[in-house]
Amino acid sequence: MAAEPSVWILSRGRKGDLDQMLALAKATGWRFEIKTLRFAGPEIPLLSKLLLKEKLSPPWPDLVLCAEASPSVIAREIKHASGGRTRIVCLGRPAGSPDRFDLVITTAQYRVPAAANVVELSMPLAEVTEKMAGTADGSIALVVGGPAFPDLLDAAAAEKLASEVLALAVRRNAVLDVVTSPRTPPEAVAVLEAVIGAPHRLGIFGRGENRYRTALAEASEIIVTSDSVSMVADALASGKPVSVYPLPQALNAKWKLGGWLYQNSVETPQPLMGPVRWLFDAGVIEVAPDRRQLFARLAAEKRLGWFGEAVPAPQPGAAQRDLARAARSLRELLA
C-alpha cells in the first residue's frame, strides 16, 4: 500500500453524517474524495446496489468511509469488487452485521455490540475550529432542530421550549441567542418569531447570515434540542457548558417492538430468537437509534447536562481526544 492511502467518502447528502466523516478524514491528514450517492426511490438497503443511479468504477481506493445504511451496502460492494483489498469503515451503524466491515466507529445510540472491530466513542465526531472556540460574550445559545422520530417539535413544543429557555435567560440576566436549523418546521419558527424579541436574538435558517457557528462561538452556555446528535457534538466541541433540552416523544408500537426484538436477539440473545438475529444481521430489519442513550452516557460522564439540571463544567480537549482515537484506529487498520 502507498505511504498515503487513497480515501473515498461515500455520502448520501446528510450533513451531520458528512461532517463527521470529513472531520475524521481531515484528522488523518490523508487526501480524500467525496462520492455523492444518489438512489432511485425510497431507501431500501437490501436493494441499494440496484437503486444506485450512478455506478462507481475503479481504480478502487485503499479506504472507504461511509455512514447510513444504503452507503454501507455500497461500501461492501466496493470491497468485494476490489478483491477484498479496499478497507471499509462505517460510522454509526451499518446495514446488517458489523462483522462485514473492517472497522465500525460508533456511539451509544446505535447499540452496536462490543467486538474487536468496533470502536465506541463517547460522542460523535466534530471538527474543532477556531470560530467554534471563540470568545464568549455572556449569551446563552439555543440551537433548535426539528422533528426527528420519536422527538416532536410542533407549535406546542416550540412554545414550551421558548417559554422555559426565556425564563432561564431572565434568571441569568443573559441574552438569548436562538438559531434554527434546516429541519425546524414553519409552525415552530412562527412561535419563535412571536416570542423571541429584543434584547434577545433570533436567526432563522435560510434568512440572511447563517449564525449557527457564530452563536456557538460567542455563547457562554449552549442549549441544544434533543433531536440532533450532530448539533450536540458541535456544541460540545465548542468547549462551552452544554445542556440538552428533551423534546416530547411519541414512542409508537413499532419503536417499542423493534427495541425489544433487538435487545433479546442481539444484545442479550434469548432462546429461539436466532431467526430474528439473522434478520438484523442480514439488514432486513434494523433497530432505530436511541439518542437518549447517548445523551444519558454523556451526562453520566459529566460532558453535558439535561436542561433544568446542573450543567457540568466543560472538559477541555474531550472532542479532540475522541477524534484522535478514531483517527488512530484508521491508521492502525491500514498499518
For range 41-57, the mean pLDDT: 82
Write out the three cell numbers for 15: 450533513
User: Are 144 and 108 contacting, i.e. CB atoms less than 8 angstroms apart?
Assistant: no
Give the closest residue to 324 by CA, choosing from 26, 16, 112, 66: 26
CA distance 104 to 290: 18
Q: Residue 3's pLDDT is what?
A: 75
CA distance 108 to 233: 13
CA distance 2 to 30: 11
Which one-letter DSSP state was computed for residue 307? T
pLDDT tens digits, residue range 234-267? Answer: 898 888 999 999 999 987 787 788 888 888 888 8
For range 267-278, the mean pLDDT: 85
Q: Which residues pair with 35 in a beta bridge?
A: 10
- Model confidence pTM above 0.85: no
For range 183-211, the mean pLDDT: 94
Query: What rounded mean pLDDT belongs to the chain?
Result: 89
Q: Which pairs count as long-range contacts for 78-87, CB under 8 Å and 24+ apart, including other chains?
A: 78/8, 82/58, 85/60, 86/60, 86/61, 86/62, 87/62, 87/63, 87/333, 87/334
pLDDT at 69 over 90: no
Angle at 314 between CA 137 and CA 245, to 5 degrees: 80
Give the closest residue to 196 by CA, choosing from 144, 148, 232: 144
CA distance 75 to 72: 5
Kindly report the backbone phi and psi dihedral angles of residue 103, in degrees, each rounded to the nearest multiple of 5, phi listed first.
-155, 140
Is the domain spanning 139-249+291-318 CATH 3.40.50.2000? The answer is yes
Q: Residue 132's pLDDT is what?
A: 52
Q: Residue 208's pLDDT is what?
A: 85
Give the closest residue to 204 by CA, choosing from 148, 144, 139: 144
Q: Residue 136's pLDDT is what?
A: 66
What percent of the chain clears pLDDT 90, i.e. is strictly above it? 59
pLDDT tens digits, residue range 75-126? Answer: 999 999 999 999 999 999 898 889 999 999 999 889 888 899 999 998 888 7
Question: Which has more pLDDT, 206 or 42?
Answer: 206
Write out the three cell numbers for 334: 491500514
Is the domain spanning 7-121 CATH 2.60.40? The answer is no
CA distance 190 to 202: 11
Q: Tell the burial category of 204 from Cβ atoms under 10 Å away from its Cβ (0-12, 13-18, 19+).
A: middle
pLDDT tens digits, residue range 122-159? Answer: 888 876 654 455 566 789 999 999 999 899 999 999 99
Q: Residue 259's pLDDT is what?
A: 80
pLDDT confidence tier of residue 281, bands split at 50, 70 and 90: confident
pLDDT confidence tier of residue 322, bands split at 50, 70 and 90: confident
For range 311-333, the mean pLDDT: 89
Q: Where along the chain do its domains lie?
A: 7-121, 139-249+291-318
Q: Specify the DSSP element, H or E, that contains 162.
A: helix 155-172
pLDDT at 299 over 80: yes
